[in-house]
Structure 1
Amino acid sequence: MSDRPYNVLFLCTGNSARSILAEAILNRLGQGKFKAYSAGSQPKGEVHPYALQLLKTLNHDTGFARSKSWEEFAVPEAPQMDFVFTVCDNAANEACPVWPGQPMTAHWGVPDPAAAEGTEAEKHFAFDDTYRMLNNRISIFISLPMTSLDKLALQRRLNEIGRDVPKAG
Protein backbone atom coordinates (compact mmCIF):
# COMPACT_ATOMS: atom_id res chain seq x y z
CA MET A 1 0.00 0.00 0.00
CA SER A 2 2.48 2.70 1.12
CA ASP A 3 5.12 3.62 3.63
CA ARG A 4 2.77 5.90 5.60
CA PRO A 5 0.77 4.44 8.49
CA TYR A 6 -2.36 2.58 7.43
CA ASN A 7 -5.52 4.59 8.24
CA VAL A 8 -8.27 2.54 9.85
CA LEU A 9 -11.85 3.68 10.54
CA PHE A 10 -14.01 1.83 13.08
CA LEU A 11 -17.73 2.37 12.58
CA CYS A 12 -20.69 1.88 14.85
CA THR A 13 -24.10 3.47 15.03
CA GLY A 14 -23.64 5.72 18.09
CA ASN A 15 -19.83 6.08 18.20
CA SER A 16 -19.97 6.11 21.99
CA ALA A 17 -18.45 2.80 23.09
CA ARG A 18 -17.26 -0.02 20.77
CA SER A 19 -15.76 2.09 18.00
CA ILE A 20 -14.15 4.44 20.55
CA LEU A 21 -12.58 1.46 22.36
CA ALA A 22 -11.31 0.04 19.04
CA GLU A 23 -9.79 3.39 18.09
CA ALA A 24 -7.93 3.60 21.40
CA ILE A 25 -6.70 0.00 21.20
CA LEU A 26 -5.38 0.24 17.65
CA ASN A 27 -3.70 3.59 18.24
CA ARG A 28 -1.83 2.01 21.14
CA LEU A 29 -1.02 -1.42 19.67
CA GLY A 30 -0.38 -0.23 16.13
CA GLN A 31 1.49 2.95 16.98
CA GLY A 32 3.59 4.05 14.02
CA LYS A 33 2.14 1.43 11.68
CA PHE A 34 -1.57 2.31 11.98
CA LYS A 35 -3.64 5.42 12.68
CA ALA A 36 -7.13 4.67 13.95
CA TYR A 37 -10.28 6.76 13.81
CA SER A 38 -13.88 6.10 14.80
CA ALA A 39 -17.27 7.42 13.78
CA GLY A 40 -20.97 6.63 13.84
CA SER A 41 -23.88 6.68 11.43
CA GLN A 42 -26.04 8.30 14.12
CA PRO A 43 -23.55 9.57 16.71
CA LYS A 44 -24.83 9.99 20.24
CA GLY A 45 -22.80 13.16 20.66
CA GLU A 46 -21.00 11.92 23.77
CA VAL A 47 -18.75 9.03 24.70
CA HIS A 48 -20.23 6.55 27.17
CA PRO A 49 -18.82 7.29 30.64
CA TYR A 50 -17.99 3.59 31.23
CA ALA A 51 -15.92 3.54 28.03
CA LEU A 52 -13.97 6.59 29.19
CA GLN A 53 -13.51 5.15 32.67
CA LEU A 54 -12.22 1.83 31.29
CA LEU A 55 -9.77 3.54 28.94
CA LYS A 56 -8.46 5.75 31.75
CA THR A 57 -8.09 2.71 34.04
CA LEU A 58 -6.02 1.01 31.31
CA ASN A 59 -3.85 4.13 30.91
CA HIS A 60 -5.16 5.15 27.50
CA ASP A 61 -5.12 8.82 26.63
CA THR A 62 -8.79 9.79 26.22
CA GLY A 63 -8.19 13.23 24.73
CA PHE A 64 -9.11 11.88 21.27
CA ALA A 65 -12.50 10.54 22.36
CA ARG A 66 -15.50 12.28 20.89
CA SER A 67 -18.67 10.96 19.28
CA LYS A 68 -18.77 12.05 15.62
CA SER A 69 -20.49 11.32 12.34
CA TRP A 70 -18.99 9.14 9.65
CA GLU A 71 -19.71 12.00 7.27
CA GLU A 72 -16.50 13.64 8.59
CA PHE A 73 -14.53 10.89 6.87
CA ALA A 74 -16.42 10.89 3.56
CA VAL A 75 -15.26 14.35 2.47
CA PRO A 76 -12.30 14.91 0.11
CA GLU A 77 -10.10 16.59 2.76
CA ALA A 78 -10.51 13.70 5.25
CA PRO A 79 -7.69 11.19 5.73
CA GLN A 80 -7.87 8.46 3.09
CA MET A 81 -8.81 5.18 4.76
CA ASP A 82 -7.04 1.92 3.99
CA PHE A 83 -9.43 -0.16 6.13
CA VAL A 84 -12.99 0.38 7.39
CA PHE A 85 -14.37 -2.02 10.01
CA THR A 86 -17.91 -2.08 11.36
CA VAL A 87 -18.05 -3.19 14.98
CA CYS A 88 -21.82 -3.27 15.41
CA ASP A 89 -24.44 -5.13 13.42
CA ASN A 90 -26.60 -2.04 12.80
CA ALA A 91 -23.78 -0.12 11.12
CA ALA A 92 -22.87 -3.18 9.04
CA ASN A 93 -26.38 -3.21 7.59
CA GLU A 94 -26.59 0.50 6.86
CA ALA A 95 -25.78 2.15 3.57
CA CYS A 96 -22.30 3.56 4.18
CA PRO A 97 -20.87 6.60 2.44
CA VAL A 98 -18.56 5.96 -0.48
CA TRP A 99 -15.07 6.03 1.01
CA PRO A 100 -12.40 7.73 -1.10
CA GLY A 101 -9.65 5.32 -2.15
CA GLN A 102 -11.80 2.17 -1.90
CA PRO A 103 -10.55 0.88 1.48
CA MET A 104 -10.79 -2.78 2.41
CA THR A 105 -13.76 -3.46 4.65
CA ALA A 106 -14.86 -6.13 7.10
CA HIS A 107 -17.48 -6.62 9.81
CA TRP A 108 -16.13 -7.31 13.30
CA GLY A 109 -19.39 -7.14 15.26
CA VAL A 110 -19.26 -7.33 19.04
CA PRO A 111 -22.09 -6.98 21.57
CA ASP A 112 -22.98 -3.44 22.63
CA PRO A 113 -21.76 -2.94 26.20
CA ALA A 114 -23.89 0.20 26.51
CA ALA A 115 -26.97 -2.03 26.20
CA ALA A 116 -25.90 -4.28 29.08
CA GLU A 117 -28.36 -4.63 31.91
CA GLY A 118 -27.90 -5.68 35.51
CA THR A 119 -25.77 -4.44 38.37
CA GLU A 120 -23.08 -1.79 37.96
CA ALA A 121 -20.49 -4.57 38.14
CA GLU A 122 -22.24 -6.49 35.33
CA LYS A 123 -22.36 -3.37 33.18
CA HIS A 124 -18.67 -2.68 33.76
CA PHE A 125 -17.92 -6.32 32.92
CA ALA A 126 -19.70 -5.88 29.58
CA PHE A 127 -17.30 -3.03 28.72
CA ASP A 128 -14.32 -5.10 29.89
CA ASP A 129 -15.46 -8.02 27.73
CA THR A 130 -15.97 -5.82 24.67
CA TYR A 131 -12.49 -4.36 25.15
CA ARG A 132 -11.03 -7.88 25.40
CA MET A 133 -12.76 -9.04 22.19
CA LEU A 134 -11.67 -5.95 20.26
CA ASN A 135 -8.14 -6.16 21.64
CA ASN A 136 -7.88 -9.80 20.47
CA ARG A 137 -9.12 -8.99 16.96
CA ILE A 138 -6.93 -5.91 16.62
CA SER A 139 -3.89 -7.85 17.85
CA ILE A 140 -4.45 -10.42 15.11
CA PHE A 141 -5.04 -7.66 12.54
CA ILE A 142 -1.80 -5.80 13.28
CA SER A 143 0.21 -9.02 13.08
CA LEU A 144 -0.93 -9.75 9.50
CA PRO A 145 1.88 -9.56 6.95
CA MET A 146 0.24 -6.67 5.04
CA THR A 147 2.88 -6.32 2.36
CA SER A 148 3.15 -10.03 1.54
CA LEU A 149 -0.58 -10.79 1.27
CA ASP A 150 -2.37 -10.14 -1.99
CA LYS A 151 -5.62 -8.17 -1.74
CA LEU A 152 -7.87 -11.24 -1.93
CA ALA A 153 -5.93 -13.12 0.76
CA LEU A 154 -5.91 -10.04 2.97
CA GLN A 155 -9.68 -9.59 2.57
CA ARG A 156 -10.22 -13.25 3.50
CA ARG A 157 -8.11 -12.81 6.65
CA LEU A 158 -9.96 -9.62 7.63
CA ASN A 159 -13.28 -11.42 7.32
CA GLU A 160 -11.98 -14.36 9.36
CA ILE A 161 -10.96 -12.06 12.20
CA GLY A 162 -14.57 -10.91 12.51
CA ARG A 163 -16.06 -14.38 12.72
CA ASP A 164 -16.70 -15.97 16.06
CA VAL A 165 -14.45 -18.90 16.79
CA PRO A 166 -16.53 -22.04 17.42
CA LYS A 167 -16.39 -23.24 21.01
CA ALA A 168 -15.03 -26.73 21.64
CA GLY A 169 -17.42 -29.50 22.53
Structure 2
Amino acid sequence: MSDQIFNVLFLCTGNSARSILAEAILNREGQGSFRAFSAGSHPKGAVHPYSLQLLKMMNHDTSFARSKGWEEFAAPDAPKMDFVFTVCDDAANEACPVWPGQPMTAHWGVPDPAAVEGTEAEKRFAFADTYRMLANRISIFVNLPMRSLDKLALQRRLDEIGRRLPEAG
Protein backbone atom coordinates (compact mmCIF):
# COMPACT_ATOMS: atom_id res chain seq x y z
CA MET A 1 0.00 0.00 0.00
CA SER A 2 1.32 3.39 -0.98
CA ASP A 3 1.41 6.83 0.64
CA GLN A 4 -2.22 7.43 -0.25
CA ILE A 5 -4.73 8.77 2.24
CA PHE A 6 -7.04 5.90 3.20
CA ASN A 7 -10.77 6.50 3.53
CA VAL A 8 -12.35 4.80 6.54
CA LEU A 9 -16.06 4.46 7.26
CA PHE A 10 -17.32 3.66 10.77
CA LEU A 11 -20.79 2.11 10.74
CA CYS A 12 -23.23 1.56 13.56
CA THR A 13 -26.96 1.65 13.98
CA GLY A 14 -27.90 5.21 14.99
CA ASN A 15 -24.81 7.25 14.01
CA SER A 16 -25.24 9.39 17.11
CA ALA A 17 -22.46 8.17 19.42
CA ARG A 18 -19.96 5.35 18.67
CA SER A 19 -19.36 5.96 14.99
CA ILE A 20 -19.27 9.74 15.51
CA LEU A 21 -16.65 9.34 18.27
CA ALA A 22 -14.59 7.00 16.08
CA GLU A 23 -14.75 9.43 13.15
CA ALA A 24 -13.45 12.29 15.32
CA ILE A 25 -10.69 10.18 16.88
CA LEU A 26 -9.38 8.82 13.58
CA ASN A 27 -9.51 12.18 11.83
CA ARG A 28 -7.21 13.55 14.52
CA GLU A 29 -4.99 10.50 15.16
CA GLY A 30 -4.66 9.53 11.51
CA GLN A 31 -4.30 13.00 10.07
CA GLY A 32 -2.31 12.87 6.83
CA SER A 33 -2.80 9.11 6.40
CA PHE A 34 -6.51 8.49 7.03
CA ARG A 35 -9.77 10.30 6.39
CA ALA A 36 -12.67 9.09 8.52
CA PHE A 37 -16.41 9.14 7.95
CA SER A 38 -19.34 7.72 9.88
CA ALA A 39 -22.87 6.58 9.14
CA GLY A 40 -25.71 4.51 10.52
CA SER A 41 -28.05 1.86 9.20
CA HIS A 42 -30.93 3.60 11.01
CA PRO A 43 -29.60 7.10 11.79
CA LYS A 44 -31.14 8.91 14.74
CA GLY A 45 -31.08 12.18 12.82
CA ALA A 46 -29.12 13.98 15.54
CA VAL A 47 -25.80 13.44 17.27
CA HIS A 48 -26.19 12.58 20.95
CA PRO A 49 -25.44 15.69 23.05
CA TYR A 50 -23.06 13.71 25.30
CA SER A 51 -21.02 12.76 22.22
CA LEU A 52 -20.66 16.40 21.25
CA GLN A 53 -19.84 17.52 24.79
CA LEU A 54 -17.21 14.80 25.21
CA LEU A 55 -15.57 15.57 21.87
CA LYS A 56 -15.42 19.27 22.71
CA MET A 57 -13.95 18.46 26.13
CA MET A 58 -11.30 16.34 24.36
CA ASN A 59 -10.52 19.28 22.03
CA HIS A 60 -11.99 17.73 18.89
CA ASP A 61 -13.56 19.81 16.16
CA THR A 62 -17.28 18.90 16.10
CA SER A 63 -18.28 20.85 12.99
CA PHE A 64 -18.32 17.57 10.99
CA ALA A 65 -20.78 15.86 13.32
CA ARG A 66 -24.16 14.97 11.88
CA SER A 67 -26.21 11.80 11.98
CA LYS A 68 -26.55 10.30 8.50
CA GLY A 69 -27.41 7.08 6.71
CA TRP A 70 -24.85 4.83 5.09
CA GLU A 71 -26.61 5.28 1.71
CA GLU A 72 -24.80 8.61 1.47
CA PHE A 73 -21.52 6.71 1.10
CA ALA A 74 -22.93 4.19 -1.38
CA ALA A 75 -23.73 6.94 -3.92
CA PRO A 76 -21.69 6.96 -7.15
CA ASP A 77 -20.01 10.28 -6.29
CA ALA A 78 -19.13 9.25 -2.70
CA PRO A 79 -15.49 8.72 -1.69
CA LYS A 80 -14.28 5.16 -2.28
CA MET A 81 -13.79 3.45 1.09
CA ASP A 82 -10.58 1.54 1.79
CA PHE A 83 -11.73 0.32 5.22
CA VAL A 84 -15.17 -0.16 6.78
CA PHE A 85 -15.44 -0.91 10.50
CA THR A 86 -18.69 -1.78 12.25
CA VAL A 87 -18.81 -0.66 15.87
CA CYS A 88 -22.22 -2.14 16.82
CA ASP A 89 -22.46 -4.33 19.90
CA ASP A 90 -23.03 -8.02 19.10
CA ALA A 91 -23.49 -8.72 22.81
CA ALA A 92 -26.63 -6.55 22.80
CA ASN A 93 -27.93 -8.39 19.70
CA GLU A 94 -27.69 -5.23 17.61
CA ALA A 95 -27.91 -5.73 13.87
CA CYS A 96 -24.75 -4.45 12.22
CA PRO A 97 -24.98 -3.15 8.66
CA VAL A 98 -23.04 -4.95 5.95
CA TRP A 99 -21.02 -2.86 3.49
CA PRO A 100 -21.02 -3.84 -0.19
CA GLY A 101 -17.95 -3.65 -2.37
CA GLN A 102 -14.32 -4.48 -1.79
CA PRO A 103 -12.99 -2.43 1.14
CA MET A 104 -11.21 -4.20 3.97
CA THR A 105 -13.71 -4.72 6.77
CA ALA A 106 -13.65 -5.65 10.44
CA HIS A 107 -16.02 -5.65 13.36
CA TRP A 108 -14.88 -3.55 16.33
CA GLY A 109 -18.01 -3.83 18.47
CA VAL A 110 -18.40 -1.65 21.54
CA PRO A 111 -21.43 -1.15 23.81
CA ASP A 112 -23.73 1.72 22.87
CA PRO A 113 -23.28 4.47 25.47
CA ALA A 114 -26.55 6.06 24.32
CA ALA A 115 -28.38 2.96 25.55
CA VAL A 116 -27.04 3.24 29.11
CA GLU A 117 -29.61 4.00 31.76
CA GLY A 118 -28.79 5.38 35.17
CA THR A 119 -27.51 8.58 36.69
CA GLU A 120 -26.04 11.34 34.58
CA ALA A 121 -22.60 10.36 35.91
CA GLU A 122 -23.11 6.74 34.81
CA LYS A 123 -24.22 7.84 31.35
CA ARG A 124 -21.27 10.20 30.94
CA PHE A 125 -18.90 7.47 32.14
CA ALA A 126 -20.31 5.16 29.44
CA PHE A 127 -19.49 7.75 26.75
CA ALA A 128 -15.99 8.29 28.14
CA ASP A 129 -15.41 4.53 28.30
CA THR A 130 -16.59 4.08 24.71
CA TYR A 131 -14.26 6.90 23.65
CA ARG A 132 -11.35 5.20 25.43
CA MET A 133 -12.04 1.80 23.84
CA LEU A 134 -12.30 3.30 20.37
CA ALA A 135 -9.21 5.48 20.88
CA ASN A 136 -7.19 2.41 21.91
CA ARG A 137 -8.27 0.44 18.83
CA ILE A 138 -7.74 3.38 16.49
CA SER A 139 -4.28 4.01 17.93
CA ILE A 140 -3.31 0.41 17.14
CA PHE A 141 -4.83 0.74 13.65
CA VAL A 142 -3.03 3.96 12.68
CA ASN A 143 0.28 2.47 13.81
CA LEU A 144 0.01 -0.69 11.69
CA PRO A 145 2.82 -0.97 9.14
CA MET A 146 0.42 -0.65 6.16
CA ARG A 147 3.15 -0.73 3.51
CA SER A 148 4.75 -3.93 4.81
CA LEU A 149 1.59 -6.00 5.36
CA ASP A 150 0.01 -8.00 2.58
CA LYS A 151 -3.79 -7.94 2.36
CA LEU A 152 -4.28 -11.21 4.27
CA ALA A 153 -1.93 -10.17 7.10
CA LEU A 154 -3.60 -6.77 7.30
CA GLN A 155 -7.05 -8.42 7.51
CA ARG A 156 -5.84 -10.63 10.37
CA ARG A 157 -4.54 -7.58 12.24
CA LEU A 158 -7.82 -5.67 11.74
CA ASP A 159 -9.78 -8.64 13.07
CA GLU A 160 -7.42 -8.93 16.07
CA ILE A 161 -8.02 -5.28 16.95
CA GLY A 162 -11.76 -5.97 17.08
CA ARG A 163 -11.33 -9.07 19.23
CA ARG A 164 -9.26 -7.34 21.87
CA LEU A 165 -11.20 -7.22 25.08
CA PRO A 166 -11.58 -3.64 26.25
CA GLU A 167 -9.38 -2.94 29.24
CA ALA A 168 -11.21 -2.18 32.46
CA GLY A 169 -11.87 1.54 32.80
Q: Sort the TM-score into its range (normalised by shorter chain).
A: over 0.9
SS in 2 for 1:105: strand
Q: In the alignment, which residue of structure 1 is the partner of 2:23?
A: 23
Whole-angstrom distance in 2 between the partners of 1:56 and 1:166: 24
Whole-angstrom distance in 2 between the partners of 1:32 and 1:144: 15
What is the TM-score when the length of structure 1 is the normalising length? 0.92
Task: Identify the range of structure 1 (156-165 vs 63-72) with the bigger mean alpha-carbon deviation.
Answer: 156-165
Q: In the alignment, which residue of structure 2 is the partner of 1:98?
A: 100
Taking every aligned residue pair, what percent have the same amino acid on both sides?
79
Structure 1 spans left out of the alignment, 5+ residues: none
Q: Label 1:68 to 1:151 Cα distance change in 2 as closer, same or farther (>3 A).
A: same
Query: Number of matched residues?
Result: 163
Q: In the alignment, which residue of structure 2 is the partner of 1:146?
A: 146
Q: In the alignment, which residue of structure 2 is the partner of 1:45?
A: 45
What is the TM-score when the length of structure 2 is the normalising length? 0.92
Contact 2:133 2:166 in 1 (8 A): no
Q: In the alignment, which residue of structure 2 is the partner of 1:163?
A: 163
Q: In the alignment, which residue of structure 1 is the partner of 2:13?
A: 13
Q: Label 1:154 to 1:59 Cα distance change in 2 as closer, same or farther (>3 A).
A: same
Letter in 1 for 2:68: K
SS in 1 for 2:147: coil
SS in 2 for 1:147: helix
Letter in 2 for 1:16: S
Note the C-alpha offset of 1:166. 8.6
Letter in 2 for 1:65: A
Letter in 2 for 1:113: P
Whole-angstrom distance in 2 between the partners of 1:98 and 1:154: 19
Structure 2 spans left out of the alignment, 5+ residues: none
Q: Label 1:151 to 1:16 Cα distance change in 2 as closer, same or farther (>3 A).
A: same
Contact 2:5 2:32 in 1 (8 A): yes
Q: Label 1:166 to 1:28 Cα distance change in 2 as closer, same or farther (>3 A).
A: closer
Q: Label 1:91 to 1:144 Cα distance change in 2 as closer, same or farther (>3 A).
A: farther
Q: Deviations over 1:57-91 (max 9, x none)?
A: 11100000000000011111100000000000334
Q: In the alignment, which residue of structure 1 is the partner of 2:135?
A: 135
Whole-angstrom distance in 1 between the partners of 2:11 and 2:100: 14
Residues 1:61 and 2:61 are matched in the alignment: yes
